[in-house]
Amino acid sequence: MYRKHLQKLLLWRDRPNRKPLVIRGARQVGKTWLVRTFAEQFDHFIEINFDKTPEKGQLFSSGNINKSLKLLEIDSDTDIVSGKTLLFLDEIQAAPDMLPLLRYLYEERPDIHVIAAGSLLEFLLADHDFSMPVGRVEYLYLGPMDFEEFIMAQGQNRLAELLSNYNPGDLIPESIHLKLLDFLKQFWVIGGMPAAVSSYLQSGQLAAATREHAAILQTYEGDFAKYRKRIYPQRLRKVFGKIPALIGHKLKYVNLDPDERARELADSLQLLEMARVIYLVRHSAGNGVPLGAEVKERVFKPLFLDVGLVATSLGLSLPDLEMADDLLLVNSGALAEQFVGQHLLYGGASYQKPQLYYWNREQRSSNAEVDYLAVCGNRVVPVEVKAGKTGTLKSMQVFVTEKRAPVALRLNANPPLYSRQESAIAGKARVSYQFISLPLYLVGQIPRLLKQAVENQQD
């Protein structure tokens, strides 16, 4: 399999001002595989899994970095050579005292390439009283495989290249368009969790991916008791199990459990978000960047980690998708919104914490909601995941009119369409904007295509 983050690790390796790298992400998204694959670029590789061998933390107990590295050479029977050794500290959350030591590895031995990873790292950062090496480490956020990585794993490099080279006005022949939609249906069922993709590729059976999904979901539930002792695990499991059916809708606590208090349910949501198995897409006024400056913390809709896990949780299969007249209507559009959301979430710079926002306006007889808001430079772009024709995208037009957005984006199952439009909202002045309609399988190219569109608007 191939992960785009390998290229980012290569850039990190060669930077003269490189710092120890901390990879953050949920369990099972492929952090360990990524580092082990990257380690092939080095002459020497030392891996410590503190979850399996917590006693190895004693190698660093002296506080003397050079002495600790000498002990590590003895323990691993591996040379630590400047610029040629990769040190991987896996499951670092099981050895809390190791995180502050990353600072000294940077200050005293910057010649050594150091990567740390942890699945429940957010809980360590929240629950332990130590000084984080601020400015002495850098981060890389890793999510599930994206659609392009998924088709490349199946040997479809030419298709992936077509997507990465697509430009406005390019024709995508119908036969290729339909082929990509078929892979899209596969992805919605198999998803981007590496273990599920690998099982499917090895067996050729969708049931193998589904079994992996079940195992992953059970692993997450098994972690619940580790989160915080004051949290009732049964409540956490109930909330976790309800999220897939609530994707795409403003979350109301009563829909999670009408018998629980809102405060306790909110705590459960916060823990699941810290574990990165769910995300809360928060409302932003969308007047400008940063979007988080105008956020309403109590207004949000949930997003799950991966579309394949959602499909399994909802009991959906490939035949269900193949029989659907419109992919965007499957389970009231939940899979489509999940698919687009997880790509937008991890479509930005890998060193930035993934964040995603949407916009809604609740007024009597005049509600409007835009599925997501994307940022391109200093512009806010409304993003709709819809099946309707341009003229039916009322919420998008409301946003364009009120915010005077120069570009608007729709994703659906149709071929690409670029056109100049004018908003048509009764009683409001018309606003001219660039309307872009892209097939769902181009979701990974949104940042690049939006940048082109916004730059053209400014010319």
Q: How many other CB atoms sit within 10 Å of the CB of residue 396?
A: 27
pLDDT at 124: 63
Domain spanning 5-141, CATH architecture? 3-Layer(aba) Sandwich (3.40)
Residue 175 banded pLDDT, cuts 50, 70, 90: very high
Q: Per-residue pLDDT tens for 358-380?
A: 999 877 667 899 999 999 989 99
Question: Which distant-in-sequence residues (6+ apart) come within 8 Å of 355 by Cβ?
Answer: 291, 292, 345
Question: Cα(344)–Cα(274) distance, rounded to whole angstroms?
Answer: 19
DSSP string, 339-397: HHHHHHHTSS-TTSPP--EEEEE--TT--EEEEEEEEETTEEEEEEE--S-GGG-HHHH
Q: Which of 378, 357, 395, 401 is nearest to 450 (CA)?
A: 378
- Token pair listed for 435: 């309307």
Domain ranges of the chain: 5-141, 148-458
Q: Residue-wise over 318-327: b if at least 16 C-beta within 10 A, else e?
A: eebbeebeeb
Q: Is 419 exposed, middle or buried (0-12, 13-18, 19+ CB in 10 A)?
A: exposed
Residue 100 has pLDDT above 90, yes or no: no
Question: Cα(428)–Cα(421) distance, rounded to whole angstroms?
Answer: 15
pLDDT at 345: 96
Q: What is the mean pLDDT of residues 50-56?
A: 94
Angle at 215 between CA 212 and CA 216, to 5 degrees: 85
Q: The whole model's pTM is what?
A: 0.93
Q: Per-residue pLDDT tens for 245-284?
A: 999 999 999 999 999 999 999 989 998 998 899 999 999 9
143 vs 454, residue with greater confidence:
143
Q: What is the mean pLDDT of residues 5-25?
A: 95
Residue 129 has pLDDT above 70, yes or no: no
Size (the chain), residues: 459
Question: Cα(397)–Cα(382) distance, rounded to whole angstroms?
Answer: 9
Question: Cα(307)–Cα(199) distance, rounded to whole angstroms?
Answer: 16
Question: Cα(64)–Cα(70) distance, rounded to whole angstroms?
Answer: 10
Residue 391 has pLDDT above 50, yes or no: no
Any idea which of 46-50, 115-119, 191-195 has the lowest mean pLDDT? Answer: 115-119
Strand 278-284, strand 295-304: pairing: antiparallel
- Token pair listed for 406: 């120069």
Q: Per-residue pLDDT tens for 418-456?
A: 999 998 887 888 999 999 999 999 999 999 999 998 887
Percent of the chain with pLDDT over 90: 75
Question: Cα(112)–Cα(69) distance, rounded to whole angstroms?
Answer: 10
Question: Cα(163)–Cα(167) distance, rounded to whole angstroms?
Answer: 9
Residue 382 has pLDDT above 60, yes or no: yes
Q: Per-residue pLDDT tens for 299-339?
A: 999 999 999 999 999 998 888 887 777 777 788 789 999 99
412 forms beta bridges with 439
Radius of gyration for the chain, computed over Cα atoms and rounded to the nearest angstrom: 23
pLDDT at 387: 65
Residue 126 banded pLDDT, cuts 50, 70, 90: low
Average pLDDT, the chain: 91
Residue 388 has pLDDT above 70, yes or no: no
